[in-house]
Structure 1
Amino acid sequence: MKFKLIIASTPDDMTDAIADAAREEGATGCTILTNARGQGLKKAKTFLGLDLAGARDVVLILVEQHLGRRILEAIGRAGHFDASPGAGIAIMIDVEDAIGLNSQLHTIQTEIEDEI
């Protein structure tokens, strides 16, 4: 079985919407890294050296390759990535190998059975 890793950077108030959207499209879970920082085209404003930009999270979602594009598009819609500058980004990369998925493999295989 081949996997993709979706990595999304998003404002922390959108993290739950992104995780929910991924789950609705077949993701079996995600890992959320909190308090990330990022910079876009324009540097964030500061006040006395304190960053005024809101907190960001990084969401890591390991998915079976056939579900990858569908999940990527769903989280893009849920996070309004293309509609609002600074709303976040998501990328998807190939995963060469993964371990620790035994408890999820049956669910993954059942859900993608019709798509393969």
Structure 2
Amino acid sequence: MKKLVLGITSIILMAVSCVNQKQEGVVVASPEAFEQKMQESNVQVLDVRTAGEYAEGHIGDATNVDVLQDDFQDKVANLDKDKPVMVYCKMGGRSAKAAGILKEMGFKDVTDLEGGYSAWKASGK
């Protein structure tokens, strides 16, 4: 019984620490907060879904760079690291990955859309 409790406790602690590490230095914003931040000057909006998903609909003038492609880092290297970067995908998983990569690359202000494009549409945007 002690081993079971210890095992479950360990799994919970690892899960919590992974979530915190993934979001370290990245602001996760609701669709409303994301939309408000988009109004700031010099904001770069990045859609990290596939080209096909992007073609079906996207937010404003977002730039499409698929995070799952090998050249993702090469393409985002052209963005200004000192300007805010706002990222989104379909549901939030790929954008969390992209946000982490951007932070590792030295981008200072990274915002991830909570729930992705699906949440954006569900909120009536």
Q: Does TM, normalized by the shorter one, top 0.5?
A: no
TM-score by length of 1: 0.30
Looking at secondary structure, tell me which structure has more helix per residue.
2
Select the structure with the greater relative contact order (CA < 8 A; seq sep ≥ 6).
Answer: 1
TM-score by length of 2: 0.29
